[in-house]
Amino acid sequence: MEKPTDSIEYETMLLGRHVHMGARSKRTSGNLDRSAYILLSRLRMQGPMSIGGLSEAFGLDASTLNRQTAAMMRAGLVDRIPDLEGGIARKFRITEEGARRLEEARTELVGGLDKVLADWSAEDVAEFAAFLKRFNTDIENLHGRPWPRP
């Protein structure tokens, strides 16, 4: 007999595939790769962060983040600023271009979700959103890496 968590595993695998394939099929000026979208989202919510802060937040090694932020700097999505709190590490902040492209990509993704959920009741959409938030928050708490939320 299949456990409910077996079904959740399968459905989250498919969800990841659908999101990944949907992002790959669109090539617009606002389209960002997955890592840029996530990093820019974090910077937008939390403000400027150092490589050390990003490493702690994402659980990634500094070399990975250095590669990702270097690519984002070349694309004009982030820039480096001095630590306004007086630390020696420089911090990354989202640029106007980064904010514009993040919002464009986010609008595309939300538009796609609106299409998928068009036949759902408002109550079902709200309940689904609440369950997703609870699911993600529980994962974050388990790993000790809470994500800032509006």
Is 84 within a domain? yes
Does residue 120 carry a pLDDT above 70? yes
For the stretch 58-107, pLDDT in tens is 999 999 999 999 999 999 999 999 887 777 779 999 999 999 999 999 99
Domain ranges, residue 39: 24-143
Is 73 within a domain? yes
Query: Among residues of the chain, what percentage have pLDDT more than 70?
Result: 92
Is 16 within a domain? no
Q: Domain total for the chain? A: 1
Structure tokens given for 15: 């969800």
Is 149 within a domain? no
Give the C-alpha distances (Å, rounded to integers) separating 144 from 53, 59, 80, 124, 147. Answer: 14, 10, 27, 30, 10
Is 110 within a domain? yes
Instruction: Check residue 48 and report its DSSP letter.
Output: -
Domain of 52: which CATH number? 1.10.10.10
Degrees to nearest 5, angle at CA 97 with 64 and 95? 65
Q: Cβ of 13: how many Cβ atoms within 10 Å?
A: 10
Tell me the pLDDT band of 28, cut-offs 50, 70 and 90. Answer: very low
Q: Are 77 and 101 in contact (CB under 8 A)?
A: yes
Is 53 within a domain? yes
